Amino acid sequence: MQKEENAPLLSESPTVLPVHRKILAFSFIGWVFDFYDLVLLSFLVASTTITTDLALSQKDVAILLGTALAFSAVGGIFGGALADRYGRKPLLMITILIYSLGTLLSGFANGFWTLLIARAITGFGIGGEWAVAHALVGETVPPHVRGRYGAYLQSGSAFARFLATLAGTMLAPLIGWRAVFILSAVPALLVVVIRSQMPESDIWLRLKSAGKVAASPWRLVAEMVGPSLRKTTAVAMTLTTLNMSAFWFKTIWLPTYLVQARGLTLGQVAALLLMDQIGSLVGHVAFGSASDRWGRRPSFTVFSIIKALGILMVTIGWTAAGGYTWVMFGFMLLVGFGEGNWGGIGPLLNEVFPTKVRASALGIIYNVSRGAQFLAPIAIAWVASRSTFGAGIALAIPFALLAGAAVWLLPETRGVRLAQEPQAPAPTADRIDGT
C-alpha cells in the first residue's frame, strides 16, 4: 500500500502515455452522446412530425427543450458530489446509463407529459456525465497538455451536433422520430467497455486512501461557498452562465430560425449547420493549443469576440451579408470557431478547485449554469413573437462579450499542478510550462 501511495501520479508523467489517450477516448465518446441526446430534440422538431404526432404547441416545445437543461442542473449537483464521494469511474458509467434510458423512453412518448418525463431523465444523466468526464481527464493528464486535452474532450459537442444534424435532417425523415430516439440509446453499451478498460483517477484514489473524501454532498457544497472558495465559486459560476447563455440563445432555435425566418430548405440548413460544426471542431483544437501556449484568459477573450461577430452577421446582419451565400458560410464557420472557447471551461474549473470538491464544482457550476438556460427558449420565443427569430438569437452577442471580459476575474492557471491541492488558487501557483 505504501508503495502504491508513493507511486508517481499519471498527471506527473513528463510525456503523454497510452493510458492518457484511453481515458480521453472513453470520456470523449461518453460526452459526444451526452450532448447529442441533449440537442437531438431541437433537430427533430424542425424536421419531423413529432409536434403533430404529440400535439405539441410552440410553448410546449420550448418547455421540453428547457426541461432537459433544467434537470441537467440537478444531475450535475448529484453526479459531481457522488463522484467526489465514490469515484469518477462508477459515476461515469451510471450517468451514461441514465441519459441513454431517458432517450430510449423518449421514443415511446405518447404525449407532452410522457416526453417531459423522458427529457427530465435524459437531462439528469447528461448533467452528471460532463462533470465526471472532465474531472477524470483533468486529474490524469500532464499539466502542460491539460488545456489541449480538455479542449479535445469538449470538442465532442461539435461531433454531437454533427450527428444530431444527420439524425434529425436525414435519418429521421426516413425512419421516423421514434426510431431515431430508440437507436440513440445504443451508447449505453459503452458502459461495458468502460467498466473493464478504464482506470480510476489516481489523484482521487490518493485522497480516498488518506480519508479526506467528503461525507455528504451538503458538506461539499458548504466548502464551495466557504471562505476559501466563495469568490472562486461566484466568479466561475458567472463566467460559465454568461458563456452558456451565449451558446444556448444561438443553438436552441437556430434550425427553426433558418427554416421559418429565412425560408431555407432542410438541405440548406444542414449545410450551414455543418459549417458551424466544422468551425467548432477546429476552434476547440485551436483553443486548446492557444490556451496551453498563451494562457487561458487571453485565448478565451479572443474566441469570445470571434463568436460574437459571427452571431451578429448570422442574425441581425443576415441581409447585409447577402443571405444564403458563401459569405454566410464563412460567418457560420466563425460562430463555430469562436465556440471553441468552451474547450477552456473544463480545464479552468479543474485548475481553480481542489480534488476534494472538484467534480462537485464542475457539476454544480456547469450544470446550474446550463439549467438556468431553461429560460433561453422562452425568452427567444417571446422576442420572436414581437420582432424576429433573428433578434431573439442575437441576444447571444452581449453574453458572449461579457463572458470574454469575466474570465479575467479568475487567475491565470496555465500549467498548474493539481496534485499540489491549492485551497484558493493564485496566479503564483506552482506550474510546469511546456509543449
Q: Give pLDDT tens digits for 40-69.
A: 998 888 777 898 999 988 888 888 988 887
Distance CA 300, CA 304 (A): 6
Three-state SS at 323: coil
**pLDDT (mean) for 387-394:** 63
Q: What is the pLDDT of residues 166-224, one digit of tens each?
A: 898 889 989 999 999 999 998 888 887 887 788 899 888 988 888 777 667 777 888 88
Q: Which residue, chain included where needed, has cell 466561475?
A: 236
Distance CA 346, CA 137 (A): 9
Higher-confidence position of 160 and 427: 160
Output phi, psi for 17, to 5 deg.
-105, 165
Percent of the chain exceeding pLDDT 70 equals 89
pLDDT at 4 over 70: no
Distance CA 62, CA 79 (A): 26
pLDDT at 1 over 50: no
pLDDT of residue 209: 84
User: How many CB atoms are located within 10 Å of the residue 5 CB?
Assistant: 11
Three-state SS at 416: strand
pLDDT at 425 over 80: no
Amino acid identity, position 282? V
Q: What is the pLDDT of residues 103-113, one digit of tens each?
A: 999 999 999 99
Q: How far is C-alpha 416 from the geometric centre of its chain's CA atoms?
A: 23
Distance CA 291, CA 309 (A): 21
Amino acid identity, position 267? G
Q: Under 8 Å CB-to-CB from 203, ≥6 apart: which residues?
A: 9, 11, 139, 140, 355, 418, 419
pLDDT of residue 248: 81
Domains of the chain: 11-217+228-408 (1.20.1250.20)
Which of the four pLDDT bands, split at 50, 70 and 90, describes residue 77? Answer: confident
Which of the four pLDDT bands, split at 50, 70 and 90, describes residue 161? Answer: confident
Instruction: Kindly report whether the global pTM for this prediction surpasses the value 0.85.
Output: no
**pLDDT (mean) for 285-299:** 95
Q: How far is C-alpha 247 from the geometric centre of its chain's CA atoms?
A: 10
The rounded mean pLDDT for the chain is 85
Q: What angle do CA 354, 404, 338 make, to 5 degrees?
A: 105
Cα-based distances in Å from 273 to 160, 165, 234: 12, 8, 34
Three-state SS at 317: coil
